[in-house]
Structure 1
């Protein structure tokens, strides 16, 4: 049903996971079928079994939420550093949120084949692309979308936000250590007089 190209990208347009319950292991078979379709990178995957579709769409939405939260908090940290350079609280808090979300995303989603798919909800697009779309009973439709560039941008923004935050903290401590040394010199001079 599928033909792979040399680079590993699958250009076959459609894979359907039908909701056919043959025995008690049907759920595991649906999951195995989904894993196979994700690994082979079909352009569109239609998931009929409601439980598998709900779990998959929830997993993708959580990953999207983590990605967007990390991006927004990175941008907020960078903007905070530009607007209020002395305010470390907001800058570092946003950088910490970005780092936390990016870490969870990287550990849990970065290597999952689901990360390359988005949920297609536009019924007009679905009707145009899938001729017999009306035959499916409330399917979850996944659309392949290469997100390599978005992942690199995400990581770059996070690294920039954390780097700016660490540099500002370094400047703060370096400035304090200089002022502490100056105070110590003043105390020593006063003591020697």
Structure 2
């Protein structure tokens, strides 16, 4: 658990969610502590409970997958729409995939505080390596706060361009 005095360092903005089972609803307590750490925008969150760490890692992986799918299918729709303008059946599904995945990301993940974090597996890249000595023998999950503004702008811009090219190519095909 994160307690304000011992486990939160305000100068370095780090939160450690300790795996302490002191009640029968400890998992809910861990989730509450994670929510508190996410809302306070800590630069590093260390999650010791493996179940919560796995759930959080999977949630972040799904958001990353949606982002990458939107960006890559959007780029593919743009390229195929420009190169093969007479074949809208190629760029159409790619553009539709980009629109759907970008929409899902925007609706489901954009306002989630967890989307501001990435799972860091290489402990040498952690901003506060001295904290590793404090941790127990468990293998915690490390969440590092990253600014995703450029990433959001990138996949939204690509998706809008893909939508424009795809719509234009489909319009030309049925004209």
Fold-level similarity (TM above 0.5)? yes
Higher helix share: 1
Note the residue ranges of structure 1 that are not aligned, 5 or more in a row: 3-9, 175-193
RMSD (Å) for aligned C-alpha atoms: 1.8
In structure 2, the CA distance between the partners of 1:11 and 1:60, relative to structure 1 (3 Å rule), is farther
State the secondary structure of the residue aligned to 1:90.
Answer: helix
Larger Rg: 1
Alignment deviations for residues 61-98 of structure 1 (CA, whole Å, 9 cap, x no partner)? 01001100110000000010121111111101100111
Q: Distance in 1 between matches of 2:63 and 2:121?
A: 17
Contact kept in structure 1, 2:95 and 2:159, CA below 8 Å: yes
Q: Distance in 2 between matches of 1:11 and 1:163?
A: 47
Contact kept in structure 2, 1:17 and 1:34, CA below 8 Å: yes
Give runs of ≥4 in structure 1 deviating > 4 Å.
none
Contact kept in structure 1, 2:123 and 2:129, CA below 8 Å: no
Match of 2:130 in 1: 131
Note the residue ranges of structure 2 that are not aligned, 5 or more in a row: none
Q: TM-score, normalised by structure 2?
A: 0.89
Match of 2:155 in 1: 154
State the secondary structure of the residue aligned to 1:131.
Answer: helix
Alignment deviations for residues 99-118 of structure 1 (CA, whole Å, 9 cap, x no partner)? 11111111211110000000
Structure number with the bigger relative contact order (C-alpha 8 A, sep ≥ 6) is 2
Say whether 1:24 aligns with 2:21: no
Answer with 55-64 or 95-104: which moved more: 95-104
Q: CA deviation at 1:12?
A: 4.1
State the secondary structure of the residue aligned to 1:141.
Answer: strand
Match of 1:44 in 2: 44
Contact kept in structure 1, 2:88 and 2:173, CA below 8 Å: no
Match of 1:181 in 2: none
